[in-house]
Structures are given as C-alpha cells and as structure tokens.
Structure 1
Amino acid sequence: MAWLYLVIASFGEIFGVLAINLFNQKRSMLRLLWIVVTFGFGFLFLWLAMREIPMGTAYAVWTGLGAAGTVLMGILIFKEPGNWKRLIFLLLIISGAVGLKLFS
C-alpha cells in the first residue's frame, strides 16, 4: 500500500507544478489555493508512504516520478518542445526511479 501512496504523492507534485505554471500565467487567489492544496495532498501521501518506505528511497522515487510527470504535462498541456533528447532523459529518470524499487 505504501508504494501506491507514493505514486499518489507524485501526482500531488505533478499537479502542484502545473498549478504554479497556471498561477504564473494569471495570478489569482483560487490558483494560489490550488497550489497549496495539491502540494499539501502530495505531502500527505508522501508522509503515509514514508511510514513503510525508507526516506531516501521514497524521496528519490517521489521526485523522479514527479519530474517525469511534470515534463510530460509540460509537453502535452503547455506545448513545450518534446524532442528526442528530452524524451531520452525522461526515460532515464523513470528507469532510475524504477531501478530503485527493483534493487531495494
């Protein structure tokens, strides 16, 4: 169950960064509240996951999945460039996070 919590926590990071980008485009209290809620949601599930998963592993997987999801979100929603070099490095981030799970 802790690994599921960790995946859910990474969605909090992904949508939190999305909220920051939207807030930078148009500043409003509602968008600021969205930042606080999404990161709070992510931190809550990160805390739940870290009750069973060691901190170093949980943090590495959380940030890896969050970074990969944020890059994909930028490419799909904000039309950021998705060239082959960027996608290769994205694959390296994901394989690094998965590798931690396989060898821990």
Structure 2
Amino acid sequence: MAWASLVLAGLFEMFGVAMIHTLHRDRNWQSLLCLILGFGASFLLLAYAMKTISMGTAYAIWTGIGASGGALLGMIVYGESKDWKRIVFIAMILGAAIGLKFIS
C-alpha cells in the first residue's frame, strides 16, 4: 500500500506542477485551489508512504515521478521540445526510480 501511495503522491505532484502552469496563464482562484489541493495531497501521500519506505528512497522516487512526469506532461500537453536527448534523460530518471524500488 505504501508503494501505491508513493506513486499516487508522484502523480499528484505532476498535477500540482500542471496547475502552476495553469495559474500563470489564467490567474484565477480555481487554479490556485487545484494547485494547493494537488500539492497537499502529494505531501500527505508522501508522508504516509514514508511510514514504511525509507525517507531517501521515498523522496527520490517521488521527485523522479514528479520531475519526469512534469517534463513529459510539458512535451505532450504544452508542446515543449521532444528532443531525443530530453527523452533519454527522462528515461534515466525513471529507470533510477524503478531500480530503487527493486533494491528496496
């Protein structure tokens, strides 16, 4: 259950990052509320996961999901560069997160 919570925390982190972009574009209270709720849920789920997963592993995986997911979201939804070098390094981040799961 802790690993599922950690992955969900990473997905909420991605949502929060997307809401930062939306807030910069629209400047409305709905975007701000979604940003607060997204990051709030992310932190709560991360804290829950850290009850059984070590802090270093949980934080590395959480940031890996958030960072790589945010970059992929930018490429897919917001038309950011899809350069093959970016994709290789995103894959390396995800590979490292998966590797941490296997050794934990």
Same fold per superposition (TM over 0.5): yes
1:68-87 matches, within 5 Å, as: 68-87=68-87
Count how many residue pairs are aligned between Structure 1 and Structure 2.
104
CA RMSD of aligned residues (A): 0.7
Instruction: Tell me by how many angstroms 1:8 deviates.
Output: 0.4
Which residue in the other structure is 2:56 paired with? 56
SS of residue in 2 equivalent to 1:79? coil
State the match for 1:38 in structure 2.
Answer: 38
Report % sequence identity. 45
Structure 2: give runs of 5+ residues left out of the alignment.
none
**Residue equivalent to 1:23:** 23
In the TM superposition, structure 1's runs of 4+ consecutive aligned residues that sit over 2 Å from their partners are: none
User: TM-score, normalised on structure 2?
Assistant: 0.97
Q: CA deviation at 1:31?
A: 0.7
**What are structure 1's unaligned runs of at least 5 residues?**
none
